[in-house]
Structure 1
Amino acid sequence: MLDDSLLDDPAALARADRDHALLALAGAGARVRTALRLTGPALTALRPEGRPRAVLVAGHGTALTAGQALGALSGGATLVHPLAAADALPSDPFSSGLSWQLPGWAGPLDLVVVLSTTGVEEGLIRLAEQAYARGCALAVLAPEGRPLAEAAQQVRALPLPYVPAAVEEPDRPDPQVDLPAEDPGAFWAYLAPLLALADRVGLLRLAEDELAGLADLLDELAVGFRPDAAAYRNPAKGLAAQLADTVPLLWGEGEPAAVAAERFAAMLADRAGCPAVTGRLPQALSSHRGMFTGRLGGGADPDDFFRDRVDEPEQLTLQVLLLRHTPAEPGADPAEPAPAGHPVRRARRLAADHDVRLTEFAGTRPEPLAALAELVALTDFAAVYLGLATGVES
Structure 2
Amino acid sequence: MPQIDERLLDDGEEIRRLDSRDYLRALATAGAQVRESVTLADEAGLSRLEREDRPRAVLVCALGGSAVVGDVLAVLAEAHGPVPVTHRATGPLPAWVGPLDLVVAVSLSGRAPGPVMLAAEAARRGAQLVTVGAAESPLAEVTLRARGVHVPVPAGVVASRTSTWAMLTPVLRACASVGVVDLEPPVVARLADVLDAQAEACRPSSESFVNPAKVAAAQLVETVPLVLGDGPLMGAAARRAASALARTARIPAMPGALPDNASQVVATFGGPYTAAAGRGVGSVGHGVRGVGGVGGGGRDIFADPFLDAPETPPLGLLVLREQGPGVPPGQGVLADTVLVEAREAGVRVHEVTSEQDHPVLRLAEVMALTDYLAAYAALGLGLDPSTNPHVANLRAADRP
Q: TM-score range by the shorter chain?
A: 0.7 to 0.9
Could you list the per-position Cα deviations for residues 285-314 of structure 1 after superposition, in whole angstroms to 9, with x for gaps in the alignment?
Answer: 21233322222224579xxxxx97535554
Amino acid at match of 2:314: T
Amino acid at match of 1:101: P
1:196 aligns with 2:187: no
- Residue of structure 2 equivalent to 1:108: 99
Could you list the per-position Cα deviations for residues 255-279 of structure 1 after superposition, in whole angstroms to 9, with x for gaps in the alignment?
Answer: 2211111111111111100010011
Q: Where does the alignment leave 5 or more consecutive residues of structure 1 unmatched? A: 83-98, 170-181, 302-306, 330-337
Amino acid at match of 1:264: A
* Distance change (3 Å), C-alpha of 1:149 and 1:298: farther
- The correspondence for 2:200, drawn from 220, 223, 230, is 223
* Distance change (3 Å), C-alpha of 1:341 and 1:134: closer
Determine helix, strand or coil for the equivalent of 1:51.
Answer: coil
- The correspondence for 2:227, drawn from 250, 268, 284, is 250
Could you list the per-position Cα deviations for residues 207-247 of structure 1 after superposition, in whole angstroms to 9, with x for gaps in the alignment?
Answer: 33110111111111111110001111100111111112211
- Residue of structure 2 equivalent to 1:185: 162
1:310 aligns with 2:312: no
Determine helix, strand or coil for the equivalent of 1:44.
Answer: helix
Determine helix, strand or coil for the equivalent of 1:362.
Answer: strand
Give the distance between the partners of 1:116 and 1:158, measured in 2 at CA: 14
- Residue of structure 2 equivalent to 1:275: 252
Amino acid at match of 1:29: G
* Distance change (3 Å), C-alpha of 1:341 and 1:206: closer
* Distance change (3 Å), C-alpha of 1:132 and 1:47: farther
* Distance change (3 Å), C-alpha of 1:238 and 1:77: farther
Higher helix share: 2
1:319 aligns with 2:322: no
Give the distance between the partners of 1:232 and 1:18, measured in 2 at CA: 25
1:128 aligns with 2:119: yes
Any conservation in 1 of the 2:277–2:346 contact (CA below 8 Å)? no
Determine helix, strand or coil for the equivalent of 1:163.
Answer: coil
Determine helix, strand or coil for the equivalent of 1:297.
Answer: helix
Give the distance between the partners of 1:341 and 1:228, measured in 2 at CA: 34
Any conservation in 1 of the 2:219–2:348 contact (CA below 8 Å)? no
- Residue of structure 2 equivalent to 1:61: 64
- Residue of structure 1 equivalent to 2:371: 380
Could you list the per-position Cα deviations for residues 153-199 of structure 1 after superposition, in whole angstroms to 9, with x for gaps in the alignment?
Answer: 23333112212446xx7xxxxxxxxxxxx443211111111111111
Determine helix, strand or coil for the equivalent of 2:108.
Answer: coil
Give the distance between the partners of 1:381 and 1:294, measured in 2 at CA: 30
- Residue of structure 2 equivalent to 1:52: 55
1:3 aligns with 2:5: yes
Q: Report percent identity of matched pairs.
A: 36
* Distance change (3 Å), C-alpha of 1:298 and 1:340: farther
- The correspondence for 1:155, drawn from 146, 151, 154, is 146
Q: Where does the alignment leave 5 or more consecutive residues of structure 2 unmatched? A: 279-302, 388-400
Could you list the per-position Cα deviations for residues 60-116 of structure 1 after superposition, in whole angstroms to 9, with x for gaps in the alignment?
Answer: 12221122112222224522233xxxxxxxxxxxxxxxx323322221111000000
Could you list the per-position Cα deviations for residues 356-390 of structure 1 after superposition, in whole angstroms to 9, with x for gaps in the alignment?
Answer: 12221111112111111110111111100111111
Q: How does 1:16-31 map to 2 (within 5 A)?
A: 16-31=18-33
Amino acid at match of 1:143: A
* Distance change (3 Å), C-alpha of 1:107 and 1:48: farther
* Distance change (3 Å), C-alpha of 1:59 and 1:341: closer
Any conservation in 2 of the 1:29–1:216 contact (CA below 8 Å)? yes
* Distance change (3 Å), C-alpha of 1:61 and 1:251: same
1:285 aligns with 2:282: no
Give the distance between the partners of 1:300 and 1:18, measured in 2 at CA: 36
Determine helix, strand or coil for the equivalent of 1:232.
Answer: coil
- The correspondence for 1:35, drawn from 34, 37, 45, is 37
Amino acid at match of 1:157: G
Amino acid at match of 1:2: I
Any conservation in 2 of the 1:268–1:274 contact (CA below 8 Å)? yes
- Residue of structure 1 equivalent to 2:288: none
Give the distance between the partners of 2:342 and 2:52, measured in 1 at CA: 50
Any conservation in 1 of the 2:323–2:355 contact (CA below 8 Å)? yes
- Residue of structure 2 equivalent to 1:70: 73
